[in-house]
Structure 1
Amino acid sequence: MMKHLILTSLILGSAMALSAQNALDALIQEARDDHAHLSRTNDPYAGLKAAVQEDYPYLQDLYQHYHLHPELSFHEKETSGRMASELQQLGFEVTEKVGGYGVVGVLRNGEGPTVLVRADMDALPIVEDTGLPYASTVTTKDDAGNEVGVMHACGHDVHMTVWTGAARQLAERKDQWSGTLVFIGQPAEERGGGAKAMLADGLYERFPKPDYAIALHVNAGMEAGKVGCRSGYSLANVDMMDITVYGQGGHGAYPHTTKDPVLLASRIVVALQTVVSRELSPLEPAVVTVGSIHGGTKGNVIPNEVGLELTLRSYTDEVRAAIIEKINRICKGVALSAGLEESQYPKVELRDEFTPATYNDPELANRVQQVFVKALGKDRTLDVEPVMGGEDFGRYGRTEEEVPIFMFWLGTVAKEQMAAAERGQLQLPSLHNSGFAPDPEPTITTGVVAMTAAVLNLLQ
């Protein structure tokens, strides 16, 4: 009987050992199959893409949180707190309230370059009309005391989510890079003051000075899953200008006793159209837009003054200065022709909201674009034209440190919507439109893969 028990035990033990060995062999074979599959795909970023896809549920929740809780420029208190928290959980040294509600996170990982990655945080005073289940219903008072809706109509919620996703991937891959990460959450991009404030608060003195600075911006006319690259000038100088045109008011029945500022303002508006068309080289891009004209209270009353609001757009500092000089000259000339005294010449004022042109360092732009081709494919890495929109990211490359910068575009449009638009069946909502709604999953995952791959390359 004892022999039978011993024999049975030996048989069972051998069977269990064989079963365990078979299981181990199966796991080893599975790993080899996975490795062989990755080798067959010849995609060095296959592991990164799989990890980003696995992390997407977390990022989706984060994106919807940001979208549901937008905050206006210079009021990003809760948003910056969440951004800081995300970095702290990953082991970054975090400093808050840099230049207002700016956030700076530093992650050191041995010797090597320093790379700055920037995301902007502020939203716009727009009532959302997307119909999304996570659409913003936030209302607040703006700085002028007006009740306004608030919406992430420029995609900063996507920027913050991609920024966080890239930070999460890089923190997990510290064995793949060496150097220092500086992740910054910037306030007030929409007002053109956030980058200026962070730099003035010692961004490059208090924290590691970057060897490279990169960022992205969503594109409302590009298919989700694609990125766009541009070397050199990518976005424009943007100035906001106010012109007050003075005159001598009076009764509409006796215009000869007045000096009509409405007429003078109209002459100025028409004359300003010659600045670009006749006074600048046709090879130099520039735009002068009069977006607002206000004056008078009643049809039979000639007012004493009229207000104009303008935007001026250019690429080079020389063209910017020329536009401003010519506007001043035209305003004085119109006033002089009307017989006004010098004390009544139009008052021309530039607002403190200047956004400098974004100049993508050619060497850095080419290097990162080649990374995108390898990570995403040539068909998903597009060459794009410069635009006349403004973005204060350009300031990070215009300091005495001369940091090379690069901003790329991230597509947001669902594939079927893009196809319909190309057939002329649909007009896509632009940025700053109440109906702007990115296709989240391909937009965010593509952004995280692209940003992570770029940083890994710079920190090799």
Structure 2
Amino acid sequence: MASTVTEGLRHVREDLADFYRDLHSHPELSLQETRTAALLARRLRDGGFDEVVEKVGVTGVVGVLRNGDGPVVMLRADFDALPVEEKTGLPYASTVRAVDGDGHEVPVMHACGHDMHAVCLTGAAALLARCREQWSGTLLVVFQPAEELAVGARGMVDDGLFERFPKPDIVLGQHVGPLPAGFIGHGNGPVMAAADSVNITLHGRGGHGSRPEASIDPVLMAANVVTRLQGIVAREVPPAETAVVTVGRLKAGTKENIIPESAELGVNIRAFTPAVRDLVRSAVERIVTGESRTSGAPKPPDFTWFASAPALVSEPEATKTTVAAFSEHFGARRLLPMPQVNASEDVGVFGEALGVPTVFWFWGGLEAESTIAAFTEGRVDELPSNHSAAFAPVVEPTLSTGVEALVVAALTWLGKV
């Protein structure tokens, strides 16, 4: 059945490739994806979807295709870009600049492959719509904004996604990455980490750099905090568990001979289980508060937690069934078992909100022969990866593989005719 549906890909492949190059050339930052959203909505309408709604969760797009009795299957793709200056050298490379949420002008690039995600979903939706005689049920297509801020999925749920549209029985999604193009990477259980970010302000007492005794130095406080935070994973997280604590931002002062009033830190944490996630969050606050108190700070530190996403759990039984369908369609040699990935994805919010299974997989976007050689020779770190200024999937076979994977996965769970 999947082969019958994907046979139609040859008729739309070039159109999809042109659409991909267009989206890659015109990236939009999170919650600013208005052009992209309009193009995606138009494609769903042209494809015959019963219901297409824009501006769900600010800039999200939802399409519904009802095709008789059967399960409701949700296919999801994200479509926001990153503040990265592209250095791929491609003829369709982005030269876009935009103003971010903090009012700063930044370069913009699809450095994480979300343009490929969106195009593959439009392709899969079109093929499934053309071959309704091959399946029954309801197809729920969700184009999610703001994945890079880890707020897009929650924003769509809070905007009534599952009250306004059919509730899915399963959520299916995928992510392109630095694997050989044409290959599918899979795992089950927790496949991507939970993520939390926190902005911290340490308060001191400013003064002249020549009189530190008359001040309370927040820079020293911040330096001690940065060092001490690294002890959380080394000395508090059990060795059998995995966690990451990264201080990605430290800002203090305006001049070398002035002790400032405050220092700011931006901290990001990753974990795979709720217990470790809670442990690390608590430890961060304990260490920062303790250092502030020890330093005699005039008031406690401020914590602003944001960009939180749960661990992405690919439900084991549903994943086993889906991967078996991939094996039958693509051949076992094109499937690659994957280790856990410390990066995060907020797609898990959808299934978690309803208590339904999520199945999530990866697929390759780099030229196959050289990428396989890099894996074989231990040169994986040389490959351009997601969020790199050099990352851009090769159009084929990445595009065809991504479309086919979504079609195969959807037909695995939709009703049979």
Match for residue 335 of structure 1 among 292, 315, 337? 292
Mapping for residues 49-60 of structure 1, pairs under 5 Å = 49-60=6-17
Taking the aligned partners of 2:208 and 2:159, their CA distance within structure 1 comes to: 54
The DSSP-based 3-state class of the residue aligned with 1:447 is helix
Match for residue 380 of structure 1 among 334, 338, 361? 334
The DSSP-based 3-state class of the residue aligned with 1:435 is coil
Match for residue 34 of structure 2 among 49, 52, 77? 77
Taking the aligned partners of 2:287 and 2:148, their CA distance within structure 1 comes to: 30
Question: Scaled by the length of structure 1, what TM-score is found?
Answer: 0.86
After superposition, the C-alpha distances for 1:268-288 in whole angstroms (9 at most, x for unaligned) are 111111111111211221111
- The answer as to 2:223 corresponding to 1:266 is yes
**Displacement after TM superposition at 1:45 (Å):** 5.1
Q: CA contact under 8 A between 1:314 and 1:320: conserved in structure 2? A: yes
- The answer as to 2:209 corresponding to 1:252 is yes
Mapping for residues 37-116 of structure 1, pairs under 5 Å = 46-92=3-49, 93-116=51-74
- The answer as to 2:119 corresponding to 1:119 is no
Larger mean CA deviation between 136-145 and 408-417 belongs to 136-145
The DSSP-based 3-state class of the residue aligned with 2:91 is coil
The DSSP-based 3-state class of the residue aligned with 1:178 is strand
Taking the aligned partners of 2:215 and 2:134, their CA distance within structure 1 comes to: 75
Q: Give 1:251's aligned amino acid.
A: H
- The answer as to 2:115 corresponding to 1:157 is yes
After superposition, the C-alpha distances for 1:357-391 in whole angstroms (9 at most, x for unaligned) are 11111111111000110011111111101111111
In structure 2, runs of 5+ residues without a counterpart are none
Q: CA contact under 8 A between 2:5 and 2:128: conserved in structure 1? A: no
Match for residue 240 of structure 1 among 189, 193, 197? 197
**Displacement after TM superposition at 1:426 (Å):** 8.4
**Displacement after TM superposition at 1:242 (Å):** 1.2
Kindly tell me: are residues 404 and 426 of structure 1, through their superposed partners in 2, closer, same or farther at Cα, counting changes over 3 Å?
closer
Q: CA contact under 8 A between 1:228 and 1:408: conserved in structure 2? A: yes
The DSSP-based 3-state class of the residue aligned with 1:365 is helix
* Aligned position for 2:266: 309
* Aligned position for 1:447: 402
- The answer as to 2:145 corresponding to 1:187 is yes
Q: CA contact under 8 A between 1:360 and 1:407: conserved in structure 2? A: yes
Mapping for residues 208-227 of structure 1, pairs under 5 Å = 208-220=166-178, 222-227=179-184
**Displacement after TM superposition at 1:79 (Å):** 0.8
**RMSD of aligned C-alpha atoms?**
1.7
Kindly tell me: are residues 310 and 257 of structure 1, through their superposed partners in 2, closer, same or farther at Cα, counting changes over 3 Å?
same
* Aligned position for 1:431: 386
- The answer as to 2:379 corresponding to 1:421 is no
* Aligned position for 2:314: 360
The structure carrying a bigger helix percent of its residues is 1
Aligned length: 412
Instruction: Kindly indicate whether structure 1 or structure 2 has the higher relative contact order, using CA contacts under 8 Å at least 6 residues apart.
Output: 2
Q: CA contact under 8 A between 2:52 and 2:64: conserved in structure 1? A: yes
Taking the aligned partners of 1:254 and 1:90, their CA distance within structure 2 comes to: 71
* Aligned position for 2:165: 207
Match for residue 403 of structure 1 among 347, 356, 370? 356
**Displacement after TM superposition at 1:205 (Å):** 1.1
Sequence identity percentage: 44
